[in-house]
Structure 1
Amino acid sequence: MDSLLNTDRPPVFCPGCAHERVLHALDQALIGMGLTGRQVVIVTDIGCSGLFDTFFNTHAFHGLHGRALTYATGIKMARSELTVIVTMGDGGLGIGGAHVLSTCRRNIDLTLLVLNNFNYGMTGGQCSSTTPRDAEVGSGFLNRLEKPMDICQVAGTAGAAMVSRVSTYDEGLVRHLQEAIAYDGFSLVDIWGICPGRYARQNRLTPRRIADSIAELPDLSSFKTLNDRMEYGRAYRQEAVLQDAPPDPVRIEPVFKAPWKGRREVVVLGGAGQRIVTAGELLCLAGAAAGCYATQKNDYPVTVMRGHSVSEVILSETEIEYAGIENPAVVIALAAEGVGRRKGMFGRLSPESMVIRALGVALPPCGATVVDIDFKSKQIKSPDWALASLAVLARENRILTMAMLKKALELRYSEGVLEAALTVVEKTNISRHFNIS
């Protein structure tokens, strides 16, 4: 094969665009290295450089602006035998700068070709992260306020070893590309070129000026020695085999029968520190022990030590296609923060629903049966109220049985914590203390 270019999709760049020269140079580099289309992945994002994936008969991935390196990383980690090449413009370079830095630090075996024409050529010629301060561009004076980024210096400082800069018009472009692709680790080639459709209309830029400008910049070869290290994917696999194998997932055999038919929804409303999410998990485990399908959705703020905590659980005899709570059979209300978070739900509760409320917690008007429990009189502390509420439900054979709850505790807790949890459960033999309104 003498070319990997897609004859059904010939290049459509503007006449004189530097990108087309890079396209043909990359094709020559790949063929010269003996690579076939099945061995190569071209990963692109948005912009004129993002057209590369359609012009090659190779594997391809086209993604979001600035994100190409994230997709390429996943591909390379999953299929280490593939040669993964990323094309990105100076626009995507600026938008995806954090991803560029991460890839430099990792040293994963990818080749990033930065098709650098100093502007957002596809969207109007606005300034990019590499636009010179004295350039005339479509975004007015903005580039005069910023210092252009030298991506090679940034990449080398971030940990990239194979960093090079070359003109699109350099006779050694193919050789530069081959050296970058062959390098065992992350390589970056900053390829300077002319955008005739936008940038060159207002800025005098020629191949000679590009060559002279590159010649004036510092040498980059020291980064190869400074940052030399094992390629990320190989180092990762080397470390991974030394790790202890993770335990197999716990298989929960259905050994009980649920005390209901169909689908049951439970909402637990509390505050930070009340182990609301853990209570939801225990409900799911108890349901699984009875052969039920289970879903759990949790709601709490980023300030996990303050504010509301909500857990919504669905248990069903059949597969759960929709995990939204529509008609909860039980609501457990343990703190004002959680109640306030779901206050609109109470007006929709039916008389068949039950609300277990910690004594003193105010509720919005509702038509459900309300059961008040004085946890403090039984010396049950606030972090254990949610577990105690499950125990109350279990003693009433509502949602779960006591056997289901104890099985869930055994699945969830180690021996010492299990004993403490069972002690809390024993304290909930308090049916005579119910106040039903």
Structure 2
Amino acid sequence: MTSLLNKNRPPVFCPGCSHERILHALDKAFEHMGLQGNQIAIVSDIGCSGLFDTFFNTHALHGLHGRALTYAAGLKMARPELNIVVTMGDGGLGIGGAHLLAACRRNLNLTLLILNNFNFGMTGGQFSPTTPCHSSGGSGFLGMMEKPVDVGKVAVAAGASFAARASAYQKDLPALMEQAIRFKGFSIIDIQGICPGRYLKQNKLTPKQIDENLKQLSPLNGPVPENIRPEYSSVYREHAASQEPVNLPEGIEARFRPPQPGRQEVILLGSAGQRILTAGEILGIAGLSAGLNVTQKNDYNVTVLTGPSVSEIILSPEKIDYTGITSPAAVIVLAPEGVARREDLFGNLDHKTLVIQASDVEIPFTRAKIVQADFKGKRIKKTDRALAALRILAGMNRVLSPEMLDAALKERFKEKI
């Protein structure tokens, strides 16, 4: 096999950077395994190690700092035939530490290469989780105050079934990488190297010193006997195959024509206990009865004894890629709590927006068309205001028709409403 390095995007590391040695070692491992680019996915995040995916002619996914293992897990579950290699720096290791622990526990067939050069090399040489206490760097004295992480010990303690330590300068690094990639389970190699652009500016470190430091640590050279167990995805598929099939939800027949063409956005502003979410759901079902695409986005109630006070619903004949509301066709105002959550909304409304306002609730100045509803005078309970407002909206043939609302009520409720 030939090299998988991208000739149109040669490496751009600082002169003397150990990352380039690791890059070529990985390429040699791929070559020896006889892998083609479409059989590999390289997943990376931010930092100098995050450049790896651009230097290979393989599948690639570049994501947020510290999150590479999460993307890799999803890829492996969806495409189990791929050989997935994750590259991460010691900075990403710290930022995504919880994801590392999960990967070790899960034992999904991934290979993680930690390009460990003992600092945040790309952003100024600040100390990282692996920086030795005696080192100097961009964080001043802060790096001297924390004990560095022994990546190998952490991985073994978390359940990694393959863990190894290595120097970027050792001759058998390609063979070690190949062993890790071929291993059926989660494999991690802590590869220690030198950052000439940052770390060497204030600290002395040589390949010989790296070898000496590695000798002082407990040896980790591959499979961890006490953690050997079946690979996650194979066990997952075995259990999933034995489960009873899930019944798909019944569809809703599209038999009405919506009263207005195009995308219709509605905001419900109420308070806990006013069945705001239920009203939004009913509006969504009404949209489905007219063959529309529907989304519902709700405010999350932070505390247990309060409920959501805002629900945003979009009905559209087109697919809905963006669920944010920019130009509401209607705003239903039922309680001060919801108004307070969206106070800035009203000043941006124009005459094209219909506001159905409970007469006992104040709202900021708006240029929208206002229809007041005397829910209190009609003795409509606060728990029923949202549903009554939908009836007003349907009665005006705005967003939904009376027939659409009736169909949604019959679909949502078995009893009479």
Aligned partner of 1:371 in structure 2 is: 373
Give 1:173 deviation, angstroms: 2.1
Judge conservation of contact 1:273–1:305 (CA < 8 Å) in 2: no
- Mapped to 2, the partners of 1:363 and 1:216 lie a distance apart of 70
SS at match of 2:191: strand
SS at match of 2:374: strand
Aligned partner of 2:190 in structure 1 is: 190
Q: Which amino acid aligns with 1:18?
A: S
Aligned partner of 2:252 in structure 1 is: 252
Judge conservation of contact 1:327–1:349 (CA < 8 Å) in 2: no
Question: Deviation per CA, 1:222-251, whole angstroms, max 9, x where unpaired?
Answer: 972222222122222222223333333433
Q: Is the alpha carbon distance of 1:408 and 1:121 closer, same or farther for their aligned partners in structure 2, counting shifts above 3 Å? A: same
Aligned partner of 2:157 in structure 1 is: 157
Give 1:106 deviation, angstroms: 1.7
Q: Is the alpha carbon distance of 1:356 and 1:199 closer, same or farther for their aligned partners in structure 2, counting shifts above 3 Å? A: closer
Judge conservation of contact 1:261–1:317 (CA < 8 Å) in 2: no
- Mapped to 1, the partners of 2:180 and 2:173 lie a distance apart of 11
- Mapped to 2, the partners of 1:99 and 1:189 lie a distance apart of 16
Identity of aligned residues (%): 55
Q: Is the alpha carbon distance of 1:99 and 1:389 closer, same or farther for their aligned partners in structure 2, counting shifts above 3 Å? A: same
Aligned partner of 2:124 in structure 1 is: 124
- Mapped to 2, the partners of 1:57 and 1:364 lie a distance apart of 57
Aligned partner of 2:337 in structure 1 is: 337
Aligned partner of 1:355 in structure 2 is: 356
Judge conservation of contact 1:252–1:289 (CA < 8 Å) in 2: yes
Give 1:132 deviation, angstroms: 0.5
- Mapped to 2, the partners of 1:318 and 1:65 lie a distance apart of 34
Q: Is the alpha carbon distance of 1:16 and 1:311 closer, same or farther for their aligned partners in structure 2, counting shifts above 3 Å? A: closer
Aligned partner of 1:429 in structure 2 is: none
In the alignment, structure 2 segments of 5+ residues that lack a partner are none
- Mapped to 2, the partners of 1:343 and 1:121 lie a distance apart of 45
Residues 1:19 and 2:27 aligned together: no
Judge conservation of contact 2:90–2:129 (CA < 8 Å) in 1: yes
Give 1:180 deviation, angstroms: 1.0
Judge conservation of contact 1:262–1:318 (CA < 8 Å) in 2: no
Q: Is the alpha carbon distance of 1:251 and 1:195 closer, same or farther for their aligned partners in structure 2, counting shifts above 3 Å? A: same
TM-score (norm 2): 0.85
Residues 1:30 and 2:44 aligned together: no
Aligned partner of 2:147 in structure 1 is: 147
Question: Deviation per CA, 1:383-407, whole angstroms, max 9, x where unpaired?
Answer: 3332344346557766655543332
Residues 1:239 and 2:250 aligned together: no
- Mapped to 2, the partners of 1:198 and 1:365 lie a distance apart of 56
Q: Is the alpha carbon distance of 1:94 and 1:291 closer, same or farther for their aligned partners in structure 2, counting shifts above 3 Å? A: closer
- Mapped to 2, the partners of 1:196 and 1:320 lie a distance apart of 49
- Counting matched residue pairs gives 412
Judge conservation of contact 1:16–1:196 (CA < 8 Å) in 2: yes
Q: Is the alpha carbon distance of 1:342 and 1:51 closer, same or farther for their aligned partners in structure 2, counting shifts above 3 Å? A: closer
Trace 1:267-282 onto structure 2 (pairs within 5 A): 267-282=267-282
Q: Is the alpha carbon distance of 1:156 and 1:352 closer, same or farther for their aligned partners in structure 2, counting shifts above 3 Å? A: closer
- Mapped to 1, the partners of 2:312 and 2:295 lie a distance apart of 8
- Mapped to 1, the partners of 2:183 and 2:171 lie a distance apart of 20
- Mapped to 1, the partners of 2:336 and 2:316 lie a distance apart of 29
Give 1:197 deviation, angstroms: 3.4
Give 1:328 deviation, angstroms: 4.1
- Mapped to 2, the partners of 1:169 and 1:266 lie a distance apart of 62
Give 1:96 deviation, angstroms: 2.2
Q: Which amino acid aligns with 1:245?
A: P
Give 1:4 deviation, angstroms: 2.8
SS at match of 2:13: coil
Q: Is the alpha carbon distance of 1:48 and 1:303 closer, same or farther for their aligned partners in structure 2, counting shifts above 3 Å? A: same
SS at match of 2:157: helix
